[in-house]
């Protein structure tokens, strides 16, 4: 990627805040005062500030985790500004003509609708397209169904009982170093509540909350599906996103009560750093869901192609009897990217089932690791797990690793784990080339086939884009 | 109970104060290596599932275990083994009176470190400690830092040892808890071949901490068939390190049967150093009662064109805990490697636990690697098949269990070792009370 893009991506993000706080940036560093200021700026109630401070005190006692298979210089947590105010639009591109042609080219390849491109490229035009009307119809439909879908800051003010009950119930404040940091300083994020026996009338997406897109580096998402409800939630998008923050530490909590069903899909394509591995986003995310009642189901699907470093383990705690956890993942690394990603399936209830399908693709100088845990507790009679981790290596300088932890304390459980690593098969390549398909196209076809099991779990429009995204991300990796 | 730090201090004050052979050139900082290492705890990745509690409960390290007169009992036990050259150790020390290797000794093939000639001393100094990084194996480092004696097995170029060579390690009752440290260095020059039978057995219940390290260097085209039986009594603490360097075109084949004990740990470390080398590791481990058994296998594929096949089976019941960790590490440029590892386990009791972690760490693209792990119970349809033919459930279960384990034992190349292994296996299974408990837990 050229320096231009680099510069462009590093330029300040211009989507604008919805809050009407005066523009201001706190000096770098973290202290109880800083947290108090953040909380005050967000007009949070007293209990929320207390909760944040408690998290901060726990965080101070914690060590940076070293176990992941990634290398990076230590992050200086005192050098980060923990409150980034609304950004000025002055230095953003004024129209699509000013945007780097390479980015526009990428949009073209991904098939992103014209009217969305400007928004994604960070063009500082107020009404890029009629987001108001989309937002309005959207909100009416949801309100009719009784679904709450708002920013977490609004939820803290408007639905304190729900937030108090569930915030931190899945990922406690001191769960891990980055979760504790997030709990102390989280900026914003989404809040979803689906009432009992309700099927959410549409797929929820952060994309629709277009005015609240810039949730900053410490995003916090909380989704609660009450008994018998169903929801599908989409996070991120396939287009390259501009982002000025190097460290991202998000927390996502899912609560599925009895018979509820949550499907959470992510496509992540953040800036991976330049060709020499300089820069790029550090994505240290804690995602966890709990099936807190019988027959609940949580399904994670992720396509990870961006970020310099990904450190992410969407997990499911299967507490309710007969509950189901699923994890479908495609992680692609190219250049100098490093990914350490996988899942945890904690089987507590009887007859709980989990499926893990993980596809890792490494190219260039990258390193791609699957790290998973399947734990069967003594109570989990009849538990069942199936795990399949396949890795594909493209080029001789990359690495692919598999670290599955399997802990079983129940003789009635059946667990299977399989992993394979190989390169793109010469036979398959030959077959494609013989039929006149050039090598790059052939590799991308084979990679797409390799990921098919995961793509079919994605919502339809995402699946199409995801396939193209892999193609774009793999450019230059072959030959 | 001691703390890990007290254990370390004890090791430094007692074990490390034992005189080493004066001519032995330990690599620089050998003693410091141990001093600089942490005694493993739950936070140590490679010891995550194996607490050292049994080792901390008694003072094993203050004194080396004594060696009582056990000739009569020992001879009875040795009679079960096939005839042939034999080195017998009791509580970690080589016993000439029970051993039979005079021929090999005269030919300079088997030598005690303490009786080594100048050239042999040179050889030992050159190779001892080359097959494993001491930093990663704290107990091997402890063993290493105080080498009072050891055995060198040196096979000259193209030399084929006709009869299997037996290494027998006996533990016998002692008055006080103590440690036994044994050490074997096997140097096989190019084209040499050997069949090794290694057996660990007990002459009664003893409070022994056996810390054993064996290093094997297979030069180009050398071949080794290695049969291992670890069928000691269950009170023992046994930490075993087997570290192997494989030269070009060399061939290593292992068949292992191991029972759990208070704490049993087997580290196997294979380093592929030359192309076209092959290793097959077959193993089966069983644990019952409150036993603990931990298998750590590490395959370092450092060069291209090498193959490895690994299959370990586990049988876990009672209140026991078993651990398996199998790591395949393909270094950059180790292209055209085919490495496969499989771990299959039968977990039969509500109180037992199995933790398995197969790992792949791959830095080369033109390779075929896979691993698999499964944990399950007895196959209901197989049980039904038996029952539909008039065999009651308990008998059917026993047969299936035996069949699961026997599949591995049946592959031992030497018939007498197979027979011995099966006999020990039946003793293990015939623990009727325990089996009753097991079946009633349905």
Distances (CA, A) of A62 to A52, A72, A219, B38: 15, 19, 20, 21
- Asked if B357 lies within 8 A of A403 by C-beta distance, the reply is yes
Residue among A398, A405, A419 whose CB faces B371 most closely: A419
Return the C-alpha torsion angle B156, B160, B161, B162, nearest 10: -160
- Asked if A402 lies within 8 A of B349 by C-beta distance, the reply is no
Instruction: Enumerate the residues of chain A whose CB falls inside 8 A of the CB of residue B349.
Output: 411
Q: Nearest 5 degrees, angle CA A458-CA A357-CA A232?
A: 30
Cβ A217 vs Cβ A185: under 8 Å: no
Cβ B247 vs Cβ B130: under 8 Å: no
DSSP string, A92-158: S-SSGGGS-HHHHHHHHHHT--HHHHHHHHT---S-SS-HHHHHHHHHHHHHHHT-EEEEHHHHHHH
As for the ipTM of the complex, it is: 0.84
Q: Which position has the token pair 């060709």?
A: A275
pLDDT at A29: 80
Residue B368 contacts A where some CB pair is shorter than 8 Å? yes
DSSP-derived letter for residue B49 is T
DSSP string, B233-294: -TT-EEEEEEEEEE-TT-EEEEEEEEE-BSEEEEEEEEEE-STT-EEEEEEEEEE-TT-EEE
Instruction: Please say whether the dihedral angle defined by the alpha carbons of residues A300, A303, A305 and A306, taken in this order, is positive or negative.
Output: negative
- Asked if B369 lies within 8 A of A420 by C-beta distance, the reply is yes
The Cα of B145 is separated from the nearest Cα of chain A by a number of Å equal to 29
Chains A and B form CB pairs within 8 A to the count of 112
Residue B373 contacts A where some CB pair is shorter than 8 Å? yes
Residue B359 contacts A where some CB pair is shorter than 8 Å? yes
pTM, two decimals, is 0.85
Residue B375 contacts A where some CB pair is shorter than 8 Å? yes
Distance from the Cα of residue A161 to its chain's centroid: 26
Cα B76 to Cα B88: distance, rounded to the nearest angstrom: 13
- Asked if B372 lies within 8 A of A417 by C-beta distance, the reply is yes
Beta bridge partners of B20: none
Residue among A393, A406, A417 whose CB faces B355 most closely: A406
SS3 category, A240 = coil
Beta bridge partners of B272: B246, B301
pLDDT at A92: 53
The two structure tokens encoding residue B367: 């390779």
pLDDT < 50 regions, chain A: 1-2, 5-23, 86-90, 122-136, 208-215, 479
pLDDT at A94: 58
Q: Residue A420: which of B308, B301, B367 has the closest Cα?
A: B367
Residue B318 contacts A where some CB pair is shorter than 8 Å? no
DSSP-derived letter for residue B100 is B
Give average pLDDT by consecutive 10-residue segment, chain B, 442 residues. Answer: 84 77 69 78 88 88 83 84 88 88 89 89 86 82 81 93 91 88 93 94 89 94 95 91 95 95 94 95 93 95 95 93 95 93 92 93 91 91 93 85 90 91 85 47 35
Query: pLDDT tens for residues B394-421?
Result: 888 888 888 899 999 999 999 989 999 9
pLDDT at B83: 80
Instruction: Enumerate the residues of chain A whose CB falls inside 8 A of the CB of residue B377.
Output: 411-414
Secondary element (H or E) of residue A110: helix A101-110
Q: Residue B116: which of B181, B22, B210, B189 has the closest Cα?
A: B22
A-contacting residues of B 333-352, CB under 8 Å?
A: 333, 335, 347-352
Cα A360 to Cα A392: distance, rounded to the nearest angstrom: 6
Cα A69 to Cα A71: distance, rounded to the nearest angstrom: 7
The Cα of B267 is separated from the nearest Cα of chain A by a number of Å equal to 18
Cα B100 to Cα B123: distance, rounded to the nearest angstrom: 24
Q: Which residue of A has its CA nearest to B319?
A: A409
Residue A174 contacts B where some CB pair is shorter than 8 Å? no
Question: A189 — alpha (psi -120 to 50), left (phi > 0) or beta?
Answer: left
Cβ B282 vs Cβ B255: under 8 Å: yes
Instruction: Enumerate the residues of chain A whose CB falls inside 8 A of the CB of residue B373.
Output: 404, 406, 415-417
């Amino acid at each position: 990627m050229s320096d231009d893009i680099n510069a462009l991506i590093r330029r300040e993000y211009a989507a604008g805040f919805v809050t009407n706080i005066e523009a201001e940036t706190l000096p770098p560093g973290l202290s109880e005062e800083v947290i108090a200021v953040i909380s005050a700026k967000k007009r949070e109630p007293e209990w929320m500030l207390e909760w944040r401070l408690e998290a901060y005190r726990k965080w101070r006692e914690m060590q940076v985790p070293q176990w992941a298979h990634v290398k990076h210089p230590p992050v200086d947590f005192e050098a980060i500004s923990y409150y980034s105010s609304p950004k000025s639009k002055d230095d953003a591109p004024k129209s699509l003509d000013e945007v780097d042609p390479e980015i526009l080219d990428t949009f073209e390849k991904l098939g992103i609708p014209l009217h969305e491109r400007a928004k994604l490229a960070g063009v500082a035009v107020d009404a890029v397209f009629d987001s108001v009307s989309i937002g309005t119809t959207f909100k009416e439909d949801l309100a009719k169904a009784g679904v709450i879908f708002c920013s977490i800051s609004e939820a803290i003010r408007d639905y304190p009982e729900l937030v108090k009950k569930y915030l931190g119930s899945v990922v406690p404040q001191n769960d891990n170093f980055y979760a504790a940091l997030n709990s102390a300083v989280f900026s914003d994020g989404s809040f979803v509540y689906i009432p009992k026996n309700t099927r959410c009338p549409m797929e929820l997406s952060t994309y629709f909350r277009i005015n609240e897109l810039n949730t900053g580096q410490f995003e916090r998402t909380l989704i609660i599906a009450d008994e018998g409800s169903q929801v599908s939630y989409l996070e991120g998008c396939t287009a390259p996103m501009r982002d000025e923050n190097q460290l991202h530490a998000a927390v996502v909590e899912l609560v599925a009560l009895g018979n509820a069903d949550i499907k959470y899909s992510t496509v992540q394509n953040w800036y991976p750093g330049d060709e020499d591995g300089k820069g790029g986003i550090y994505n240290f995310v804690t995602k966890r869901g709990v099936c807190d009642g019988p027959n609940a189901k949580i399904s994670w699907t992720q396509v990870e192609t961006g970020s310099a470093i990904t450190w992410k383990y969407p997990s499911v705690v299967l507490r309710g009897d007969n509950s189901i956890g699923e994890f479908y993942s495609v992680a692609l690394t190219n250049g100098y990217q490093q990914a350490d990603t996988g899942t945890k399936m904690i089987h507590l209830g009887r007859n709980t089932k989990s499926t893990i399908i993980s596809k890792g693709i490494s190219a260039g100088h990258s390193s791609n690791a699957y790290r998973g845990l399947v734990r069967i507790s003594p109570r989990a009679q009849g538990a069942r797990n199936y795990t399949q981790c396949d890795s594909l290596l493209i080029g001789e300088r990359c690495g692919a690793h598999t670290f599955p932890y399997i802990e079983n304390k129940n003789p009635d459980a059946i667990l299977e784990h399989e992993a394979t690593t190989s390169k793109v098969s010469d036979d398959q390549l030959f077959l494609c080339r013989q039929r006149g398909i050039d090598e790059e196209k052939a590799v991308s076809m084979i990679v797409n086939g390799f990921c098919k099991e995961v793509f079919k779990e994605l919502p339809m429009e995402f699946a199409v884009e995801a396939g193209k995204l892999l193609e774009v991300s793999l450019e230059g990796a072959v030959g | 109970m001691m703390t890990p730090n007290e254990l370390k201090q004890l090791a430094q004050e007692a074990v490390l104060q034992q005189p080493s052979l004066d001519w032995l050139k330990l690599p620089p900082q050998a003693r410091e290596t141990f001093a600089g290492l942490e005694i493993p705890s739950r936070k140590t990745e490679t010891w995550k599932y194996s607490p050292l509690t049994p080792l901390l409960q008694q003072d094993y390290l203050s004194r080396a275990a004594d060696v009582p007169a056990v000739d009569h009992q020992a001879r009875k036990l040795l009679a079960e083994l096939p005839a042939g050259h034999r080195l017998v150790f009791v509580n970690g020390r080589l016993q000439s009176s029970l051993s039979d290797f005079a021929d090999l000794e005269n030919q300079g093939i088997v030598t005690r470190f303490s009786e080594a000639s100048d050239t042999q001393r040179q050889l030992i100094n050159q190779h001892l400690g080359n097959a494993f990084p001491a930093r990663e194996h704290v107990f091997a480092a402890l063993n290493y830092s105080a080498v009072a004696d050891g055995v060198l097995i040196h096979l000259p170029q193209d030399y084929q040892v006709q009869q299997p060579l037996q290494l027998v390690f006996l533990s016998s009752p002692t008055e006080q808890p103590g440690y036994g440290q044994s050490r074997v260095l096997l140097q096989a020059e190019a084209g040499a071949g050997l069949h090794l039978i290694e057996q660990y057995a007990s002459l009664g219940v003893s409070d022994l901490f056996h810390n054993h390290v064996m290093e094997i260097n297979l030069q180009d085209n050398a071949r080794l068939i290695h049969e291992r039986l670890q069928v000691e009594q269950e009170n023992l603490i046994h930490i075993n390190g087997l570290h192997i360097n494989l030269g070009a075109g060399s061939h290593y084949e292992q068949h292992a049967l191991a029972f759990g004990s208070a704490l049993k740990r087997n580290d196997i470390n294979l380093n592929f150093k030359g192309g076209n080398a092959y290793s097959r590791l077959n193993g089966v481990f069983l644990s019952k009662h409150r036993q603990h058994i931990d298998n750590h296998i590490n395959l370092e594929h450092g060069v291209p064109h090498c193959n490895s096949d690994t299959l370990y089976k586990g049988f876990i019941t009672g209140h026991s805990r078993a651990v398996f960790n199998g790591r395949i590490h393909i270094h950059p440029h180790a292209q055209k490697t085919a490495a496969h590892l499989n771990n299959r386990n039968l977990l039969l009791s509500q109180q037992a636990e199995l933790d398995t972690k197969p790992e792949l760490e791959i830095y080369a693209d033109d390779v075929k690697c896979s691993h698999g792990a499964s944990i399950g119970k007895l196959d209901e349809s197989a049980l039904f098949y038996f029952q539909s033919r008039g065999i009651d459930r308990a008998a059917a279960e026993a047969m299936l269990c035996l069949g699961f384990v026997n599949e591995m034992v049946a592959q031992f190349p030497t018939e007498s070792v197979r027979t011995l292994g099966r006999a020990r296996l039946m003793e293990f299974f015939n623990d009727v009370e325990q089996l009753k408990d097991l079946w009633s837990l349905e």
